[in-house]
Structure 1
Amino acid sequence: MCENRERNLIVIGISGVTCGGKTTTATKLANLLPNCKIIGQDDYFLVEDDPRHTWIPELNHVNYDTITSLDMDQMYEDLLEIINKFKRKGVLEESKNSANQEAKENCISLTRFKDSNVSFLIVEGFSIFNFKPLLPLFHLKYYFVLDKDKCLERREKRAYEPPDCPGYFEKCVWPEHLAQLKEVKTFVKNVCYFDGDSELDIIQKILADITEYLKSST
Structure 2
Amino acid sequence: MSHSNLLVIGISGVTCGGKTTTASEINKIFPGSKIFSQDDYFWPVNDPRHVWIPELNHINFDILSSLDMEGMYNDVRRYIGSNKTSKTRKHTINYLNGTDCDLRKQCFEKTKDVRIVIVEGFCIFNYRPLTEVFDLKYYFTLDRDECYRRRVQRVYEPPDCPGYFERCAWVEHLKQLEEVQETVENVVYFNEKNKNPVDTILRDILNIL
TM-score normalised according to structure 2 size: 0.92
Q: Deviations over 1:153-194 (max 9, x none)?
A: 000000000000000001000000000000000000000000
Question: Which consecutive unaligned segments of at least 5 residues does structure 2 have?
Answer: none
Q: Deviations over 1:96-153 (max 9, x none)?
A: 85797351875332243344x1110000000000000001110000000001000000
Q: Which one-letter code corresponds to 1:169 in the other structure? A: F
In the alignment, which residue of structure 1 is the partner of 2:110? Answer: 113
In the alignment, which residue of structure 1 is the partner of 2:26? Answer: 29
1:204 and 2:199 aligned:
yes
Which runs of 4 or more aligned residues in structure 1 lie more than 3 Å from their structure 2 counterparts after TM superposition? Answer: 95-102
Q: Structure 1 residues 31, 55: closer, same or farther in 2, change over 3 A?
A: same
Question: Which consecutive unaligned segments of at least 5 residues does structure 1 have?
Answer: none
Q: Structure 1 residues 212, 63: closer, same or farther in 2, change over 3 A?
A: same
Q: 1:101 aligns with which of 93, 104, 119?
A: 93
| Distance in 1 of aligned mates of 2:94 and 2:82 | 31
Q: 1:17 aligns with which of 14, 21, 27?
A: 14
Higher-helix-fraction structure: 1
In the alignment, which residue of structure 1 is the partner of 2:183? Answer: 187
| Distance in 2 of aligned mates of 1:34 and 1:118 | 12
- Residue 134 of structure 1 aligns to a residue whose secondary structure is helix
CA drift at 1:35: 1.6
Percent identical: 50
| Contact persistence 1:143–1:194 (CA under 8 A) | yes
| Contact persistence 1:45–1:70 (CA under 8 A) | yes
- Residue 154 of structure 2 aligns to a residue whose secondary structure is coil
CA drift at 1:199: 4.1
